[in-house]
Copies of this chain bind each other. A is one copy, B any other.
Amino acid sequence: MPWFSKPAYQPKGKHCYVTGGSSGLGKALCESLVKQGAHVTIVARDTKKGEQVVQELKAIASPNQIITFISADLVDPTSSADALTEATSLHNGQAPDYVFCCAGFSKPKFFIDSTPQEMKEGFDGVFWVSAYTVYAAIQQIVKQRRTGKIILVSSFCGYASFAGYSTYSPGKYALRGLADALRSEMILHNIDIHIFMPAGILSPGYEVENLTKPAITHKIEEADSPLAPEVSAKYLETGLRKGYYQITDNIATDLVRMRSNAGVPSNNLFMDSLYLFVSSFAVPIWRMMTDWEVRKAKKDVQKDLETVGFYSSSS
């Protein structure tokens, strides 16, 4: 992705491949893409929900738009590749133009309350659920000597992390690591890489997330205002239209971005310089306050562990 000329974003007539397109951000994005005249392939696990969304999308589409659903377990590399091949076959064998990786979930929990299995599932459901699709898509696009866009969805928790996100942040950081490597490497193959870093989306996933979230994590996040999926999707598409590499949906994330992105191409040079100046003070202060909240909770957490007999259990 270039530093001065920005890549164009124009969904009309494009084949958009959207993982996790049957709910939340993915679904909101599909609606917007269909309204703009794109062909949309939704990939998700739940066939019933997926087919229903296809019906909803067809109702707002023109008859020449191809809108389909493919059921796949995207944590598996073979299923991920097969789903992409199936979608390609519906479009004269041509690889998708835009690949949006929206599938994923979050289950925040204290590290000592998690099992190794939960750590692994948490990671797979954030990282591999997208990485295998990215791999299959890039193979196809390069082999066909086409251009394309890969859009990953990370999170505020892909820049910064704190108590409660030990099973979630590794995957979100890893997505950013993948995107940073590919942004550079895909210059070789004319593929644009983008990564969305939303702060919080009022999706079905967000409700599930809140069920396991420790009290201290809630407390740290209490000033946050999660966005409706439609609003979040709008931020994502605005960023794509402007050609941004790392796309955010609020100013707090922009401040953290400037202290976390290792100098990748800036969005708006003037605003980013301002954010960097403010973040020099604001971000460490936010960190100190967060650590302070954790420290305040120490006694309560230790009392809770005592109550459930954690300290006396076998190691």
Contact = CB atoms under 8 A, between A and B. Distances in A.
Contact of A138 (B112, B145, B186): B112
Interface of A: 2-3, 77, 81, 85, 88, 93, 95, 110-112, 114, 116-117, 119-120, 123, 127-128, 131-132, 135, 138-140, 142-145, 157-166, 168-178, 180-182, 184-189, 256, 258-266, 273, 276, 279-280, 283-284, 286-288, 290-291, 294-295, 297-298, 301-302, 305, 310-311, 313-315
A120 B78 CA distance: 13
Nearest to A184: B162
Nearest to A160: B262
A21 to B, nearest CB: 22
B145 A311 contact: yes
A185 B294 contact: yes
Contacts of A158: 177
A111 B181 contact: yes
What 9 A-B pairs are tightest by C-beta distance, nearest first? A173-B177, A263-B283, A160-B262, A77-B116, A169-B177, A170-B174, A163-B185, A161-B180, A166-B181
Contacts of A265: 284, 287
Nearest to A85: B315
Contacts of A165: 181
B185 A166 contact: yes
Contacts of A110: 185
A290 B184 contact: yes
A111 B193 CA distance: 13
A280 B265 CA distance: 12
A244 to B, nearest CB: 15
